[in-house]
Structure 1
Amino acid sequence: MTLFAALIQEVQAEQSLPPPTPDPCAAQQYSAFDFWVGEWEVFRTGTETQVATSRIEKVSNGCAIRETWMPLRGSGGASLTTLDPQTGTWHQLWVGAQPGRVFFEGGPVAGAMVLTGYWGRTPEGEPNLVRMTYTAADDGSVRQHGQASADHGMTWSDSFDLTYRPKSG
């Protein structure tokens, strides 16, 4: 068989294939957290104190977002965030350098992504509720503001405040 005949046969075989199925996670609802996707340098908000780098990427055919957290000191961690299409709720699993994991859930609120979960315990032994609010800024950065509640969400106090800035060249 000549090279030309082989190419024609290959093209004919491709034409007989069924059309590709649409990406199941291409719908708009799956892009609500895409503003967090990127390569980042992470700073304490309002300072030039860098605390980490972070890689946020779409994975699993665009159905999930994976964070690889790389602090400048200490050990890293990773999260996997996805939308449950049945409930419209976003879920995040965080695994750090310590045993165990943390589950967060929530969704878009007024242009931000708000995720809440129990992380550790208060000094009194009560579950420590943590709320993380991710907000995209006009300059391309993303603020991650963490608040904690020892009274099941009745009152909140600031826990951490980070700004993800696009990684420079």
Structure 2
Amino acid sequence: MKKLIIILSLAVSAFVAEAQNIDASTFDFWEGTWELRWTDANGQAGSGTNVINRISGGKVLHENFSATKGQLAGFQGTSISVFNPNTSTWHQTWMDNQGGNLIFTGSVEGDRKIFSTASQTINGQTTQSRMVFYNFTEDSFTWDWERTTDGGKTWTLNWRIFYKRIK
């Protein structure tokens, strides 16, 4: 019985992943060296770089983010993203120089690729965050950091970054 449940679970995971078009190449667009530009909540321009490359035999995406100008100058972070072929699921772990540590799960909604956190309760309020990648061209895309406090019915934009590939 246990084997049957495991087989059914894997089959359902594969079906859901196929329906969402999730596979090991879902986040390939992100690989590269990027120039970043944004405007913060106070209207100040900011910029930085993000270098995403494959490590561990090409199976893992390694991100190195650095804010170089604006209020966030000096903010740095890194992430490790990996596709689990047994569950057809992307996972990401983010860590930064301000003590941040976030865990994400990947998904696809239409032409948007998303990494979302699980819901968590902070100061009595349940919240969830996500990164949304969209507006893809060969050399650019847009990245939004969003948050919800109503279980995903509505999302609030906290930060939008415009990515441009450095050749």
Q: TM-score, normalised by structure 1?
A: 0.71
How many residue pairs get matched? 139
Distance between the aligned counterparts of 1:161 and 1:57, measured in 2?
22
Query: Secondary structure at 1:30's aligned position in 2?
Result: coil
Match of 1:63 among 34, 59, 63: 59
Letter in structure 2 aligned against 1:138: T
Aligned to 1:14: none
Unaligned runs of 5+ in 2: 1-21
After superposition, what is the alpha-carbon deviation per residue over 1:94-131, rounded to whole angstroms, capped at 9, x for unaligned? 00112241001022332331111159876x44343112
Distance between the aligned counterparts of 2:135 and 2:152, measured in 1?
24
RMSD: 2.6
Distance between the aligned counterparts of 2:80 and 2:34, measured in 1?
17
Q: Is 2:70 aligned against 1:74?
A: no
After superposition, what is the alpha-carbon deviation per residue over 1:61-98, rounded to whole angstroms, capped at 9, x for unaligned? 11111110011102301011111112211111000112
After superposition, what is the alpha-carbon deviation per residue over 1:16-46, rounded to whole angstroms, capped at 9, x for unaligned? xxxxxxxxxxxx931111101110111117x
Aligned to 1:94: 94
Unaligned runs of 5+ in 1: 1-27
Larger Rg: 1
Q: Is 2:149 aligned against 1:150?
A: yes
Instruction: State the identity %.
Output: 27
Distance between the aligned counterparts of 1:44 and 1:111, measured in 2?
22
Letter in structure 2 aligned against 1:29: D
Distance between the aligned counterparts of 2:90 and 2:165, measured in 1?
24
Aligned to 1:132: 131
Q: Is 2:161 aligned against 1:162?
A: yes
Q: Is 2:36 aligned against 1:42?
A: yes
Q: Kindly state the Cα deviation for residue 167 of structure 1 after the two structures are TM-superposed.
A: 1.8
Letter in structure 1 aligned against 2:47: V
Q: TM-score, normalised by structure 2?
A: 0.72
Larger RCO: 1 or 2 (CA < 8 Å, sep 6+): 2
